Amino acid sequence: MAVYTDVSDGDIAAFAKQYDIGEVTSFKGIAEGVENSNFLLMTTRAPYILTLYEKRVSKRDLPFFLGLMEHLAEAKVPCPTPIRGRDGQVLRELCGRPAAIISFLKGVWPRRISLFHCREVGRALAEMHLKGRDYPLRRSNALSVAGWRTLFTACQSRADEVETGLADTLAGELVLLETNWPADLPAGVIHADLFPDNVFFDGERLTGLIDFYFACDDHFAYDLAVCLNAWCFEHGGEFNVTKARQLLSAYRAVRPFSDSELAALPLLARGAALRFLLTRLYDWLNQVEGAMVKPKDPREYLPKLRFHQRISGPAAYGLA
Amino acid sequence: MAVYTDVSDGDIAAFAKQYDIGEVTSFKGIAEGVENSNFLLMTTRAPYILTLYEKRVSKRDLPFFLGLMEHLAEAKVPCPTPIRGRDGQVLRELCGRPAAIISFLKGVWPRRISLFHCREVGRALAEMHLKGRDYPLRRSNALSVAGWRTLFTACQSRADEVETGLADTLAGELVLLETNWPADLPAGVIHADLFPDNVFFDGERLTGLIDFYFACDDHFAYDLAVCLNAWCFEHGGEFNVTKARQLLSAYRAVRPFSDSELAALPLLARGAALRFLLTRLYDWLNQVEGAMVKPKDPREYLPKLRFHQRISGPAAYGLA
């Protein structure tokens, strides 16, 4: 949960006047999102989300993220869309931070994952991949294989404080992934962080994908790998092959993937596990005194990594 | 800001079915309130607030607080009202905590205090005092003069870590207040914590008082003293006599106070300053590692205490 910047009643009233969204009737910081400050802004017309971009999001990347959301929403991918001000602009400044108002999405993110969640996420992810193809902006994935060694080096000497042998595990895995990472798979705009708290549902209906602030260009199948790790393991760490089958087959029904993508999936899933293991480990070892966000336990990703290391091929994900 | 308990989508859907409030369409933790977990619950009918009472609020006191809100709302004091479930009950349990749904109030709390805010708060406080007179339940003020020595004793040895000489200042003030605290002023139900973040405005119109979880029976004038300290000092610590005059005269126009109440005001204001100084000092010295709420600086209350110590009488508050 996070609200890093206090926005006053006067600030918000003046800010909202730059938009054709009605009069502000309520304004509350919400305990969602880790990187930014988010507020629920209610007006005489509708609810909206106001986001202030804090320092962990690069201002340079904001046009990519906001443009992508607008592009996808126009293409009917369920996601929030940035609201343009009276001047036509989406991005402006509030309390010294870049700020934007985006549309409010109905729905609640699921804490306990059922099969229908996996199916809906697979389908929505494929739609996002297809509809993102004609998005004109590009952003490379700073948190793909080329970025992992920097993170590892920063954590290596203290990794074993978290789990004995962790530094060796990470070192070995990193070399393997650097050596074997595929280069020629179908690629385009991916979400790159499609965890359950970024997907809203109204009952069994997926109402939207949110939080596009890690979106970038990368292999489509890497996005699937991130989702396999985020949606298809139980809390005890066991892989649920039925969930994986639902997710992958729903995806494939919308965007059929090639044999080479399927064959690469175990390696990509190891990479996706290593990526979240490394960023969580970094945040765990570099906790800021008085921080408002409790870092997530990196160890959650160790059994996920081990699962993908052990399997003999993509058949373990339940596809015939 | 605080959300101490995570409530799942399944939990909230099942909980909401116990009420006639429509279908849940959205559910977000909000960054308001220090003692409890608060959620904004949107349904097909209206927005509501769901509160889970965490351990700092005594379960035994909840019928007093919730009953008071219902009583005041029925008497047209602008404040949220608890929503009764299909079984007629207001208080039930969610995620192992006492929980209640209350109505949603429009408005935004003011960060920069203008004269009209003070006037509206004075008027609303007087209305609350009058309308609370026939509320049948009673709750003594655990944080009045009889409770301060316990707090002081717990902080005494470390008070000077916060400000040199603070322990001596507090000791002297405490003896004076214990000796001179009035016993026979008009009394009834008071809010006891009417800070700006507990009062919502829509433009210049006060839309409601919230957070009745310190409400109790005490001198009405003590509630005024709390408000003088909370609303009539500038950020630099200077007393703003114009704001005080607005607050007190707006109050007096609704509920005329006696000469003895006015005469007692400087002493009550010293007591109100000491009360917040002591509780903030206690929280400051007893910070919990990883706590999500940053404690407020107790030193903010030192210049307020000193102001009331130095004045020669209630004329300093701007009343003719």
**Residue given tokens 């006015």 in the structure block:** B262
pLDDT in tens, A207-242: 999 999 999 999 999 999 999 999 999 998 999 999
What is the DSSP code (8-state) at residue A140? B
In this structure, the number of other CB atoms found within 10 A of the CB of residue A164 comes to 10
Of B29, B42, B292, the CB nearest to A32: B29
pLDDT in tens, B209-250: 999 999 999 999 999 999 999 999 999 899 999 999 999 999
Q: Can you tell me the distance from the alpha carbon of B271 to that of B264, in angstroms, rounded to the nearest whole number?
A: 11
Q: Can you tell me the distance from the alpha carbon of B40 to that of B26, in angstroms, rounded to the nearest whole number?
A: 8
Specify the pLDDT at position B249.
97
Interface touch A31/B32, C-beta < 8 Å: no
Interface touch A26/B292, C-beta < 8 Å: no
In this structure, the number of other CB atoms found within 10 A of the CB of residue B56 comes to 10
Q: Which helix (H) or strand (E) holds A303?
A: helix A301-310
Interface touch A3/B1, C-beta < 8 Å: yes
Rg for chain A, CA atoms, rounded: 20
- Helical packing angle, A115-131 and A62-74, nearest 10°: 100
pLDDT band at B291 (very low <50, low <70, confident <90, very high): low
Interface touch B30/A30, C-beta < 8 Å: yes
Specify the pLDDT at position B320.
66
| Most confident of the following: A3-17, A284-298, B182-196 | B182-196
In this structure, the number of other CB atoms found within 10 A of the CB of residue B251 comes to 26
Using a CB–CB cutoff of 8 Å, tell me whether B142 touches chain A. Answer: no
The β-bridge partners of A189 are A217
What are phi and psi for residue A108, nearest 5 degrees? Answer: -135, 140
With beta carbons less than 8 A apart as the criterion, state whether B77 and B52 touch: no
What is the pLDDT averaged over residues B26-42? 88
pLDDT over 50 (residue A249):
yes
Q: B127: closest CA among B190, B173, B178, B172?
A: B190
pLDDT in tens, A39-97: 999 999 999 999 999 887 888 999 999 999 999 999 999 999 999 999 999 999 999 99
Specify the pLDDT at position A293.
67
Please indicate whether residue A293 or residue B211 has the higher confidence score (pLDDT): B211
Mean pLDDT (chain A, rounded)? 94
Specify the pLDDT at position A320.
66
Specify the pLDDT at position A309.
97
pLDDT in tens, A150-161: 999 999 999 999
Q: Can you tell me the distance from the alpha carbon of A159 to that of A165, in angstroms, rounded to the nearest whole number?
A: 8
What is the pLDDT averaged over residues B48-57? 90
Name every chain A residue with its beta carbon within 8 A of the beta carbon of B106: 25-26, 42
Q: Can you tell me the distance from the alpha carbon of B172 to that of B181, in angstroms, rounded to the nearest whole number?
A: 14
CB pairs under 8 A between A and B: 90
With beta carbons less than 8 A apart as the criterion, state whether B51 and B29 touch: no
pLDDT band at A20 (very low <50, low <70, confident <90, very high): very high
With beta carbons less than 8 A apart as the criterion, state whether B54 and B29 touch: no
Of B8, B31, B110, the CB nearest to A1: B31
pLDDT in tens, B249-284: 999 999 999 999 999 999 999 999 999 999 999 999
What are phi and psi for residue A77, nearest 5 degrees? Answer: -75, 130
pLDDT over 70 (residue A1):
no
pLDDT band at B174 (very low <50, low <70, confident <90, very high): very high
Specify the pLDDT at position A6.
84
Using a CB–CB cutoff of 8 Å, tell me whether B106 touches chain A. Answer: yes
Q: B2: closest CA among B24, B27, B34?
A: B34
Q: Can you say whether the dihedral through the CA atoms of B64, B28, B105, B32 is positive or negative?
A: positive
pLDDT over 50 (residue B157):
yes
Using a CB–CB cutoff of 8 Å, tell me whether B44 touches chain A. Answer: no
What are phi and psi for residue A25, nearest 5 degrees? Answer: -110, -20
